[in-house]
Structure 1
Amino acid sequence: MPPGTRLVLYACLPASLGEAADHSVASARRYVADAGWEAVETHVDRAAPFESRALCEGWHNALAAVEQGKAAGIVTPLLVMLGHLEGDRANLAAWQARTGALITTPWAVVDAAGATVARRSAA
C-alpha cells in the first residue's frame, strides 16, 4: 500500500481486561503511522473476541466506513478480532471480495482474494 493509504482501525477487546487491552490498539496505530498510512477512524468493541461480530456496533461501523469510500481497508491488531467463528470468517471473505478492501495487521496482509500476501516476523 502506498503512503497516505487511508484505513479504519478496528479492534475487539474483552471487557474483562479493561484498559490493559488498549495497548493492542496503540500498537496497531503505531504500525499504521510507521507505514505512512492514515487511520481515518477507530472503532473498538468491548466483547468476547471469540463470539460473533454480528452484534458489534463498532464492527459494522468499520465495514460501513470502507463501503462509503472513507478508507481502503481495515487494520486490526489480530485477524481473530475480525471473526473467529466460521460464519463470521465467511461473511468477511465475501465482503472483502465484494469491496476489494485490504485487511492488514502488524503481522499479515490479506488481499481481497483471501490470500495472505505478506507475513511479518514477530522479531
Structure 2
Amino acid sequence: MSSTARQTAPHEVPPGTRLVLYACLPASLGEAADHSVASAQRYVDDAGWETVETYVDRAAPFESRVLCAGWHNALAVVEQGRAAGIVTPLLVMLGHLEEDRSNLAAWQVRTGALITTPWAVVDAAKATAPRRSAA
C-alpha cells in the first residue's frame, strides 16, 4: 500500500459534491494564517461544491494530527457519509509525519474518500482507491 494519499483534481469532482474543509494552521501565526481557509473556501465555491463543515486546528503543521480534534471531526463527517471527502489548503495540513501519511492513505482506501487542494496534483499511477460518490 502506498503511504501517500491520492489528491483528486478539480475536474474529477462534480459540481454539488459535499466536502469538509480542513486546515491545520500554526498557532504562532494567529489570524494571519486564516487567509488560507478563505482561499480554500473560494476554491470550493468556484468549483460549485458545497462545504458541509469547516474545521481548523491551531497546531504545529509538522506535528502529528493524532491530538487534533478538528482532524478527527473532519474524518468522522466523511465516515458518516455526510461528505464525499476533504478539501484542504495544502496536503501537508493533513499529515506531515510518515505515520500520519500512512494512516491517511489507509483511511482513504477504506472509505473511498476524495482529497483535493487548490493546487491538486494527481499521480494517476497511484490512483487505486475507489472514489466515494457525492454525499
Higher strand share: 1
Aligned length: 114
Give unmatched runs, 5+ long, in structure 1: 116-123
Amino acid at match of 1:76: T
- Point out which structure has higher relative CO (alpha carbons under 8 A, 6+ apart): 2
Give the counterpart of 1:3 among 15, 21, 25. 15
Distance 1:107 1:10 in 2: 15
Q: Determine the C-alpha separation between the residues in 2 that align with 1:9 and 1:114.
A: 24
CA distance in 1, matches of 2:111, 2:94: 16
Gaps of 5+ in 2: 1-12, 128-135
- In structure 2, the CA distance between the partners of 1:110 and 1:60, relative to structure 1 (3 Å rule), is farther
C-alpha distance in structure 1 between counterparts of 2:15 and 2:90, whole Å = 22
Q: Is the 8 A contact 1:103 1:109 kept in 2?
A: no
Q: Which runs of 4+ in 1 moved over 6 A?
A: none
One-letter code aligned to 2:84: A
1:59 aligns with 2:80: no
SS at match of 1:108: coil
Instruction: Report the CA distance between 1:114 and its aligned residue.
Output: 5.2
Closer, same or farther: CA 6–80 of 1 in aligned 2, 3 Å: same
Matched, 1:71 2:83: yes
Q: Structure 1 residues 114 and 98, CA, compared in 2 at 3 Å: closer, same or farther?
A: farther
Tell me, in whole angstroms, the C-alpha distance in 2 between the residues paired with 1:82 and 1:33. 21
Aligned counterpart, 2:28 = 16
Give a deviation string over 1:14-37, Cα, whole Å, max 9, x none: 000000000000000000000000
| Superposed CA RMSD | 1.5
> When the two structures are superposed, what TM-score results if normalisation uses the length of structure 1?
0.89
TM-score (norm 2): 0.81
> Following the alignment from structure 1 to structure 2, what is the Cα–Cα distance between the partners of residues 114 and 40?
28
Sequence identity (%): 89
For 1:1-123, list aligned pairs within 5 A: 1-108=13-120, 115=127
